[in-house]
Amino acid sequence: MDSIVVVKVVMPEESLPHGIEGEVISVYTTYLVES
């Protein structure tokens, strides 16, 4: 949940790519947040 909030803060849904690219960014952001 926190990672999703970070993604939305950094890149609003309007700018965030939809589909696989968006999920990859979310996973990558989650990895950075957990690290």
> How does pLDDT run across 1-35, given as a tens digit for each residue?
565 555 555 555 565 556 666 677 777 777 777 76
pTM here is 0.29
Q: Please enumerate in sequence order all residues whose Cβ is within 8 A of that of 34, keeping only pairs 6 or more positions apart, or say none.
A: none
**Res 24: pLDDT:** 73
